[in-house]
Amino acid sequence: MCKLMDAEQFPSLARLTEAILAVWPQHRRYLQSNFAERDTDMLRHSERLTAMILRLADSTEGGLPALATDYRFLCEKIILPEEMHFRRTNAYRLTRFDDALEQVYSRKEFMTRYMNGLLVSDVIWLNHCRCMKHYADTFLPGLPEGASLLEIGPGHGLLLCLAAERPGIGEITAWDVSEASLDASRHSLEVLEAKRTASFRQVDIFDRSQRRENDLFDAIVLSEVLEHLEDPAAALSALFDLTRPGGRVWINVPANSPAPDHLFLLRNADEATALVRNAGFEVVESVVYPMSGVTLERAKREALTVNCVVVGRRPAH
């Protein structure tokens, strides 16, 4: 059978897609049309991201084959049942954090597979991949020289690594409520031999008592976090307090994106923009990336998954 990706031009993508097809041959048609949607610039970005993912894969148990298996598990066993629930009821299954904690976060083995699958989705699912590209190619280069950056909820740490690779970014800080996520992102920076490290701290975004007086940042990143929260508006207002006047936030939040630990159902991009604005930010930019194989119009009409990226600015005065 013909190879999906040209191994000379895109060696990492070729390796990853072959690993996926080895455990999931029925995914070929999806992958084919999915990559046909990408122009050269997008393919280059995908290749860069995949090279990072492959190095992380080498350092995880089971290596690339395990990662590919977990990606299939994510699509078929984790997301599909939630998709069906969403189509039946027009709602996410869970709305309370305690339930997500019990059913998802506390199940260690499940979480590992879930996170591995999501790591692969960051390059395979076009909406995820485009967000990463916006972050690396638009947001980071647009920050002023020496800008301090805080990421809240770095998870696997891919965005943190992109920031650490970017010359001109100042001090980098990472906060997460989960010790496991902090370990994972620390590990990613090490494995990818990032140009520098970050300072890590276990912080719950809602807990003001954990803040320190000098906690003020030029740039704050919140990616795929709001949909996990019971009160996204309160989180954004905490973010506002942490942003230095004139500083910027990069918010990435999916709409119509059922998952076992998604609590907050955003219906469209306008709602995302309104949330950021209502927290006090000026909206500098707002972009929407539909899921693979779907136009923006269709996504709107049929309430399909899109990722909303909103860049906000805290007014200088």
Ligand X SMILES: C[S@@+](CC[C@H](N)C(=O)[O-])C[C@H]1O[C@@H](n2cnc3c(N)ncnc32)[C@H](O)[C@@H]1O
| Interacting residues with ligand X (CB under 6 A) | 152-155, 159, 175-178, 181, 204-206, 223-225, 228
80 binds, among another protein, ligand X, none (CB under 5 to 8 A by kind): another protein
CA 177 to chain centre: 16
Closest distance to another protein from the beta carbon of 302 (Å)? 7
Binding partner selected for residue 304 from ligand X, another protein, none, CB under the kind-specific 5 to 8 Å limit: another protein
Query: What is the rounded distance in angstroms from the CA atom of residue 136 to the CA atom of residue 249?
Result: 14
Which CB, 27 or 314, lies closer to another protein? 27
Minimum CB separation from ligand X for residue 307, in Å? 10
Q: State the minimum distance, in angstroms, from the CB of residue 296 to ligand X.
A: 21
Q: How far apart are CA 249 and CA 224, in angstroms?
A: 14
Nearer to another protein, 238 or 294 (CB): 294
- 83 is in the binding site of which of another protein, ligand X, none (Cβ under 5 to 8 A by kind)? another protein
Contact criterion met (CB below 8 Å) for 237 and 243: no
Kind of pairing between the strands at 306-313 and 282-290? antiparallel
Longest dimension (CA), the chain: 61
State which residue, 5 or 250, has the beta carbon closest to ligand X. Answer: 250
- Cβ-based nearer residue to another protein, 76 or 215: 76
Identify what 181 binds: ligand X, another protein, none; CB under 5 to 8 Å per kind. ligand X
Q: In this structure, which amino acid lies at residue 238?
A: A
Q: Find which of another protein, ligand X, none residue 30 binds, CB within 5 to 8 Å per kind.
A: another protein
Side-chain half-sphere CA neighbours of 41 within 13 A: 5
Distance CA 145, CA 162 (A): 16
Give 88 or 317: the residue with its C-beta nearer to another protein: 88
Shortest Å, Cβ 187 to ligand X? 13
Task: Please give the Cα distance from 274 to 268 (Å, whole number).
Answer: 10
- CB nearer to ligand X: give 86 or 135: 135
Q: Which residues bind another protein (CB under 8 A)?
A: 26, 29-30, 76-77, 80-81, 83-84, 87-88, 293-294, 302, 304
- Which partner, ligand X, another protein, none, binds residue 117 by CB below 5 to 8 Å per kind? none
d(CA 184, CA 198): 13
Burial of 79 (0-12, 13-18, 19+ CB in 10 A): buried
Distance between CA atoms of 169 and 154, rounded to whole angstroms? 17
Residue type, 85: H
Both structure tokens of 192 = 């990818």
Between CA 132 and CA 157 the distance in angstroms is 12
In the complex, what is the shortest distance from the CB of residue 84 to another protein, in angstroms, rounded to a whole number? 6
Nearer to ligand X, 51 or 177 (CB): 177
- In whole angstroms, how close is the CB of 3 to ligand X at the nearest point? 29
Which partner from the list ligand X, another protein, none does 247 bind, CB cut-off 5 to 8 Å by kind?
Answer: none
44 burial level (CB within 10 Å; 0-12, 13-18, 19+): middle
